[in-house]
Amino acid sequence: MSLRDPVSTPRHSRDHPKTGHFQASKRLLGRKSRVSTSQSHFPKTTFLIYVALISGLGLGLAACASESANNGQRTVTNDIPPVTNTHYPTPSSKVSPTLPSTPTHLPAASPTPTPYSPDVCIYAGHFHLSRPIAPSGVDVIDPTYRYGSTQDGLRETHHGVEFVNPQGTPVLAAADGMVIVAGDDYQIPYANYPGFYGNLVILEHALPEVEGPIFTLYGHLYDVQVEIGQQVKTGDQIGEVGFTGWATGEHLHFEVRYGANSYRETRNPELWLRPHHDENNEPHGAIAGQIIDEFGTPIYNAPLTIEQISPENGEILAAYYLETYADWTVNGDDNLGENFVLGDLPAGHYRVSFVARGLQVYDVEVQPGQVTMIVFDAREQGE
């Protein structure tokens, strides 16, 4: 079946504007500290975020401190390190990622986790889904509108991710499954209101590694090329990229839903999509985190800076900027409960910085095919 809707409908910027399962294989591979005067790199952007949040939230200037990874001793100083002009190479300057022709089996998780520290642990990832765009297209997600983000309040909280590609780019099934929706949502809504996705396909998957059903949604399609009840295999073409529904600009909107085919049951696709591989054919990993305030509530819209650090000289190789999830309408992983994710990261050393009861800085390691998880709970922090 081929269904096309070239008729333009009211559109806004990309998607509509403002209107898991990890088996714990935890081991300590991180060091958390507050910034001290001995640090050789203190990014200007991170410092400006720190000052802005201190002013806007009325937190007051917290003392800078550092904590030893070996004995947990903490030293306190009121000095703020000097600001230096740091050049940030863009992530696009790295080697272009390539996918192997056959799926790579990721490391298995240990059933009995060994915690490294209460703050940083490493888990085996559940990257079971193939990317819905072939490597010949743009198969990396749009970093400007991640899951749970709002683009500074300009759009509604994002329940998926985007792959920006020209109209007509093939859209591929992310896993074996059955077509349960093929058509449009102008009469039957699959979000908060009809017409949100335009032409769409929804697949139901029974993954042997996952308890319960998984659903993947492919929205804003120009062409739907499957029928309800049809069985598809991983990589089968199910449609073409378009911009139908509430969208401006040609792109694929991709969602992962767990347990039920519901807009309220989405999960972050960055924790499900199979990562790219580096020049040594090692799979990339991810950094996720849970940032909680003194009342036990996730901190929404908190800016973070994540920098890839050279282990040889401490230079910044790449810098990424994101925020924690915007509100309660999106979900963390069922085991992790995260409220931020940065996926598809090459293995290596990273520095994660954010403001919560002062400037928090974590030096962590990303391992191939693994998820490095940071937990900051203000209720457990000392004065």
pTM across the whole model: 0.73
pLDDT for residue 277 is more than 60: yes
First to last CA, the chain: 64
* Residues 255 and 221 sit within 8 Å (Cβ to Cβ): no
Residues above pLDDT 90, as percent of the chain:
64
Query: For residue 289, which of 332, 344, 327 has the smallest C-alpha distance?
Result: 332
Q: How many CB atoms lie within 10 A of CB 95?
A: 9
Assess whether pLDDT exceeds 50 at residue 54: no
Q: Residue 128 falls within a domain, yes or no?
A: no
* Confidence band for 94, pLDDT divided at 50, 70 and 90: very low
Q: Which of 357, 363, 358, 321 is nearest to 340 (CA)?
A: 321
Quick check: is 170 in a domain?
no
In a domain, 137, yes or no: no
The percentage of residues in the chain with a pLDDT greater than 70, rounded to a whole number, is 69
- Identify whether 177 is part of a domain: no
Pairing of strands 251-258, 266-267: antiparallel
Give, as one character, the DSSP assignment of residue 51.
Answer: H
Q: Is residue 352 part of a domain?
A: yes
Distance of CA 246 to the CA centre of its chain: 23
**Is 258 a domain residue?**
no
Instruction: Domain of residue 76: give its range.
Output: 30-97+280-380
Rg (CA), the chain: 21
Residue 77 is part of a domain; what is its CATH number? 2.60.40.10
Res. 102: pLDDT tops 50: no
pLDDT of amino acid 49: 38
Whether 38 is covered by a domain: the verdict is yes
Query: Which residue bears the tokens 């000052």?
Result: 51
Cα–Cα distance between 23 and 152 in angstroms, integer? 34
Number of domains in the chain: 1
> For residue range 161-204, what is the model confidence (pLDDT) as tens digits?
999 999 999 999 999 999 999 999 999 999 999 999 999 999 99
Average pLDDT over residues 279-304: 96
Judged against a pLDDT cut of 80, whether residue 307 lies above it is answered with yes
Residue 141 scores a pLDDT above 50: yes
**88, HSE (Cβ side, Cα atoms, 13 Å):** 17
Is residue 255 domain-resident?
no
Is the predicted pLDDT of residue 109 greater than 90, yes or no?
no
CB 160 within 8 A of CB 269: yes
> What is the rounded distance in angstroms from the CA atom of residue 147 to the CA atom of residue 171?
20
